[in-house]
Every structure is written in C-alpha cells, then in structure tokens.
Amino acid sequence: MLVIESMKKISVIVPVYNQVSIISSNVPKIIVEMKSTGYPFEILLINDGSNDGSDIMLHQFSEPFIKIINQNNKGLGSVLKTAFTQAGGDILIIVDLDLSYGIQNISRAIRLSNDWDCVVCSKYARQNQYPFHRKILSFFHYKFCRLLFGISVRDMGSGIVMVHSKFVHNQKFFSNGFGIHCEFFLSLHKQHASVLELPVQYKHFPGSYRLIYHSIQTTKELFVIVQHYKQK
C-alpha cells in the first residue's frame, strides 16, 4: 500500500475506442492496481463511439466505482474534455486501455503526486521500440510545441499521465482530436505546474491513430491553438 499524505480521491480516465478484444482482460487489471494503492477511486470508461461492440462489453462491469460514458465519435480531445467535467477526483490518472506503458506505473505516478503537479510516463526517457514513422511525427510535434509555446515535455502522447484536477477544472480546451496533447501541456505551462517525465518501459500496440487523417487533423488543431494563443 502506498504511503500518502492524505486520502484524496483518484479518478482514472480510460478512453475506449474499438477495443472490444482487450476490455475484459485489461479493465480488471486497472481495478486490481487501483485497489492496491489504498486510495478511494473511480474509473471512468469513456466510449468514443466504438462500432465493434465495445459499448456492450463495457457493461459487464457493474462495480459502484465504475462510471461508463458513451458519446459519439469525436476524438481523444473530446473524450478528455468530457472526463475533465465528469471526474470527481482530486487526482486524475489518464490511462491507455492497452496498458502499453505498464500497469505498475499507475502506482508510481500516484506516489509522485505528493511532489509533482503532473507526472508523465515517458517512453522517450529510455530505449524503447517505437515505429520509426511515429517517432518522426512525434519529434516534429514536440519541436513545434517547444518552439512556439515553450513546452518541454517530450512524450506528450503518453499512455499514463497523472495531474491534479485543479489544473484542468475550469480550463477551456478547443481540440477534439490529438491536438489536445499540446493544448493540455500548454495549459499546465501557463499555470506554472511542475511536470516530471518518468522513464518507463514501453510496449507498442497498434492503436486507433491513422497516419494521414490524424496528422492533418492534429495540424489543423495546432494552428487553432496558435491563433487562440496570439489573441491573448
């Protein structure tokens, strides 16, 4: 059990999109990991318009700490915006359902919440296998956000992120897609939040990212963020 300063509630945010094959195996793993922490918690399973039966599969979980939210398919940014308004925890943990960043790192991120405003489990902080084209796209995305906004976080698309809820409540986010990564860390940067990138072992799983479509969508959202930033 973790040693914690106070019994704050944790909200675990799990985006779900066409992952029917891993729901039955991985959601219980998250439950077991959260019970081991000793924190009171809730798990938000947010189905972003899946068309493979994921919505039906999610309803096998009837525990009182699980909240299932179904919405039309809009993208990761829309899922996180929904989560930020629905989560009731003092600490938020955003977790990819494929658990590619290692289930044990949820507890590590929670433990560090006593000292950091945000913890990002990072596949770039040590040697990890990652598809070359995804690595190149991620690098240019990182450079863009660093040059324009001063964001120094390398793994903005991390599959495990801890953040204190006070940094997202009452914040206005525009991106519905993957542009939310830049927008999220820009918001933390402007609020002078302390951010730690935690080196972890990473195992790549094919996800819902479509190279051309999502690259174009993310580029458009980044320009919207730039325009909004200039107006302030």
Look at residue 165 in the predicted model and tell me its pLDDT.
97
Look at residue 95 in the predicted model and tell me its pLDDT.
98
2 assigned to some structural domain: no
4 assigned to some structural domain: no
Q: How far apart are CA 101 and CA 122, in angstroms?
A: 8
Mean pLDDT of 37-41: 95
5 assigned to some structural domain: no
181 assigned to some structural domain: yes
What CATH number does residue 225 fall under? Answer: 3.90.550.10
What residues pair up with 16 in beta bridges, in sequence order?
47
Instruction: Work out how many domains the chain is built from and give that number.
Output: 1
Mean pLDDT score of the chain, rounded to an integer?
86
Strands 10-16 and 41-48, by their bridges, are: parallel
Structural domain span for residue 187: 10-231
Q: How far apart are CA 177 and CA 77, in angstroms?
A: 5
Look at residue 28 in the predicted model and tell me its pLDDT.
98
Confidence of residue 227 (pLDDT cuts 50, 70, 90): confident
Look at residue 1 in the predicted model and tell me its pLDDT.
45
Look at residue 8 in the predicted model and tell me its pLDDT.
87
Which residue in 123, 33, 185, 159 sits closest to 10, CA to CA? 33
84 assigned to some structural domain: yes
Q: How far apart are CA 215 and CA 222, in angstroms?
A: 10
Tokens 């939310």 — which residue?
Answer: 180
1 assigned to some structural domain: no
3 assigned to some structural domain: no
Which residues are CB-neighbours of 200 under 8 A, at least 6 positions away? 101, 102, 105, 121, 122, 123, 125, 126, 160
* The pair of three-digit structure tokens given for residue 86, joined into one six-digit string: 């629905």
Mean pLDDT of 94-116: 96
Mean pLDDT of 111-133: 80
Q: How far apart are CA 221 and CA 109, in angstroms?
A: 29
Torsion sign across C-alpha atoms 151, 188, 201, 28: negative
74 assigned to some structural domain: yes
Confidence of residue 124 (pLDDT cuts 50, 70, 90): confident
Whether the model pTM is above 0.75:
yes
Look at residue 25 in the predicted model and tell me its pLDDT.
97
Given a cut of 80, whether residue 170 has pLDDT beyond it is: yes
